[in-house]
A and B are shown apart, each in its own frame.
Chain A
Amino acid sequence: MAQYLLSVWHSDAHPIPDDPETMQKAFKQVDVFNAELQASGAWVFAGGLHPPATATVVRDDGGETIITDGPFAETKEQLGGFWIIEAADLDAALAWASKGSAACMASVEVRPFQGDEPES
């Protein structure tokens, strides 16, 4: 088994919904999806994030902490939330991502975590 980060990305093509009705719909769908993930045993962790404007960037500069207003990257694409799942392989992870994308109505990026396997 491997762990994958499924991150939810909003962009101009798939903006964060701003009407309450669509938001409620997305929340409900994500709840259903989360329940399915948990029931299957694939669930590790998940969370939705506040908008990028709430982010703060911290960097250690030789012992001194520098704090600046975020987000770190000023891009049109916004990270809206994420899941961490267990899956047998990429195809299994992609199948979850496809359901997750439908539920939250945004693009989902699938990225493997570094494991504890020896480098070859």
Chain B
Amino acid sequence: MPAVEASQLERIFREESGRAVATLVRLFGDIDIAEEMVQEAFVVASERWPETGLPPNPGGWITTTARNRAIDRLRREGSRHDRHAQAARLQQSAEPVEPEGDVKDDRLRLIFTCCHPALAPSAQIALTLRLLGGLETPYIARAFLVPEQTMAKRLVRAKQKIRDAKIPYRVPRDAELPSRLRSVLTVIYLVFNEGYTASEGDELVRADLCAEAIRLARLVAELMPDEPEVLGLLALLLLTESRRAARTAADGTIVLLPDQDRARWDRELIAEGQAIVRRCLRRNQPGPYQIQAAINAVHSDAATAADTDWGQILRLYDQLLAIAPSPIVALNRAVALAELEGPEPALIAIDSLDLDRYHLFHSTRAALLARLRRFDEAHTAYDRALALANNAAERALLEKKRNSLPTPSGR
């Protein structure tokens, strides 16, 4: 029997706990019992496996052990929990839990419950990471920079609401599916974004959040292969993640897309992301995530920044603006426009946008003004961006850009 190392146990826990929790929620109708029993099963595993080696199907072992413990506990507690005891009686047979079929659907049910719009977005995110990602509460608290107690309370409250308001444990019906799926995809996107853009906190924790978001996107894509926006989100995350290494300089400052060392992009992630984008295009049911993924695919096609097919990118932004209009999309479109037609029309395009509170609006304006050699105005715009940005790495970049402007006249 091969020895089982702690890191291996941790990996199995991360990969299998969501599956086990989801199955137990279905069997016992109670999230707390499911969580506790899966935890207990992992404690037993961490004591037993280093001696006995891994069982042939560790995930199935965990689910079966957790289920049996839940049944034992509910029996001990007798009729106090009528509903649960009844569920337990139905499940007394000792055959191992199959890892396929229903169980797959269980995780999908669970993610729809966790991301139910009746829960606050912050609670949706926390629950998804806790129940499907198997992340510990202190860890989630650290990732989102809130005190552990706050996060614990948030989770308890959300679970109470699921129980008391009877938030259902099922994949939504067709009529509700589009809006509910959007809520699931938003949660995954926000988890990724938190890992990708925030500069505070533990770098490893943040990389983990991105990995977790990609894992969740893969899971939903595997379970709902006919939903093009799910594939679109997965592709968008893969293509964005492919640039992670190139995005930070040795001194920790951010390197923007045109200045990145493209040799450091992850070719494997790019190939996978681009293949998914092509699959989406063939379906011809465009959505915001698919188009954003396509834009990223065009960027990752270019060997150098100068090779970028800006015409294609502009067309994609036009399409995105048509189906999901927002000032931020319009701002990004203007960046593409500047590459094609120069800074002047881009500046005109963005000046009417209502984004005065958004630091990237001012930094984009500053860059365009600098290209027009209107350095005084560029300087002022960078100042404005700096006053609004609160991310340390972004601030460092803005300062660097502002300080590299030619000395403003009259200063």
Contacts and interface: CB of A to CB of B under 8 A. Distances in A.
A72 B402 CA distance: 57
A91 B176 contact: yes
A120 B165 contact: no
B82 to A, nearest CB: 7
Interface in A70-90: 88-90
Given A91-B172, A91-B176, A118 B82 contact: yes
A118 B80 CA distance: 7
A102 interface: no
Nearest to B175: A95
Interface string A97-117: 000000000000011101001
A97 B358 CA distance: 36
Interface string B107-146: 0000000001010000000000000000000000000000
Contacts of A118: 80-83
B120 to A, nearest CB: 15
Interface residues of A, number: 13
Interface in B72-125: 80-84, 116, 118
A20 to B, nearest CB: 35
Contacts, number: 34
B166 A2 contact: yes
A94 interface: yes
Contacts of B172: 91
Interface in A40-78: none
B177 to A, nearest CB: 12
Contacts of A111: 165
B118 A90 contact: yes
Interface in B132-168: 163-168
Interface of A: 2, 88-91, 94, 110-112, 114, 117-118, 120
Given A90-B166, A112-B166, A120-B84, 17 more contacts: A88-B166, A88-B168, A89-B166, A89-B167, A90-B118, A90-B167, A90-B168, A94-B118, A112-B165, A117-B83, A118-B80, A118-B81, A118-B82, A118-B83, A120-B32, A120-B33, A120-B163
Interface of B: 30, 32-33, 80-84, 116, 118, 163-168, 172, 176
